[in-house]
Structure 1
Amino acid sequence: MVSAQLIESKAAWLGALRDVLLQALQRQKRDILCLDADFESWPWSDAAVLEALHAWSGPGRQLRLLALDFETLKRAHPRFVRWRQTHSHLVQAAQFEASEWQGGRLPQAVLLVPEQGVLRLLARDSWRAVLSPERRDELAAREWFDAVTQRSSESFGASTLGL
């Protein structure tokens, strides 16, 4: 049995984030749930991740994104934004309120892949994180992810309509 893994550096966090995401995409996982303030440091511009996203795109797949703000993601990851425009039917994006972060109710960032595990960034200043394959951690993360989603509003549209 694999136990939870503690992560204690930015490089380890970024490596784990990329590895877990690639593994989920390559395994053709149906749901991938992501939460971050702005997704700036996520590997959305990584060539291997974009290639895996293209291969993953198919019926019944869903990438769920929760953020405080998507503007930084749009600026930092234009290739991912183009992928999102092409595959808008696969992406559900919502913006949550800053009050959700108050009191430490939410981790700083989360990548949740049902039946694979959950990667949680606990403190961005120290890059302390936990990667857990435990079902109970996955269920707890899914519960609050769904609760935050219910209190969030749709955001990060596939296209911008102008007058």
Structure 2
Amino acid sequence: MTETSATSPDSPPDLPVGRFSGREAFQQMVRDAIATAARDGWKEIVISDANFHDWPLGERSVVEALQDWAHGSRRFTMLACSYDDVIRRHARFVRWRGTWDHIINCRRSPAADPLDIPSALWSPQWVMQRLDPERCVGVAGFEPDRRVLLRETLNEWVRSKSTPGFPASTLGL
């Protein structure tokens, strides 16, 4: 369950604060966060997960929101153990990723234990982290200390525990 605020019918819902539980609640939070990023012009998004299996990245509405968000000076970082599920399950997202390669930094950590990689969405404004990815239980919020702590964790993974991965295209010679 999540706590949310009321919104106007023509804008994405306010993002939840507090604990959440369940796959549907998690997926809706990802949809709402990407829509909010597009609407509010977030400059940066970082997403991290072992494989992005549960994420709604391939949904038309998510890719359209990412398309709207990507214009201007933006940065998008992804971290995963493997991108195999992304390629298999999220074709629209893979096409979008190819178009916007210049703003996207994809990192992989294939030797990491999948349970060690944070399952999270970070932005300078709001963060969401699944503490138990299998049961989709986690926390979300706007608190500065929560945002800073998650950013430091993700930065450590990106800088020292991962290498470039998930190329925008594969060139055969």
Deviation string, structure 1 residues 62-118 (Cα, Å, up to 9, x no partner): 11000000111011111111111111111110002443656x5x53x100011x211
Give, in whole Å, the separation in 2 of the partners of 1:48 and 1:153. 30
With normalisation by structure 2, the TM-score equals 0.84
Equivalent of 1:124 in 115, 120, 133: 133
- Counterpart residue identity of residue 95, structure 1: R
Confirm or deny that 1:54 pairs with 2:67: yes
8 Å CA contact retained: 1:37, 1:69: yes
| Greater fraction helix | 1
Alignment of 1:30-109 (within 5 A): 30-99=43-112, 106-107=117-118, 109=119
Choose the corresponding residue for 1:110, options 109, 120, 123: 120
Cα 1:130–1:78 change in 2 (3 A) is same
- Return the offset for 1:13: 1.2
Instruction: Specify whether residues 141 and 100 from structure 1 end up closer, same or farther in structure 2 by C-alpha distance, changes over 3 A only.
Output: farther
Once residues 56 and 21 of structure 1 are traced to their aligned partners in structure 2, the CA distance between those partners, rounded to angstroms, is 8
**Which residue, 40, 62, 78 being the options, matches 1:27?**
40
Unaligned runs of 5+ in 1: none
CA distance in 2, matches of 1:101, 1:51: 29
Report the secondary structure of 2:57's partner residue. coil
Distance 1:136 1:158 in 2: 34
TM-score when scaled to structure 1? 0.89
Residues 100 and 148, structure 1, Cα contact 8 Å, conserved in 2: no
SS at 2:26 equivalent: helix
4+ runs of 1 displaced by more than 3 Å? 97-102
Partner SS state of residue 112, structure 2: helix
Task: Provide the aligned length of Structure 1 versus Structure 2.
Answer: 158
Give the number of the structure with larger relative contact order, counting CA–CA contacts within 8 Å between residues 6 or more apart.
1
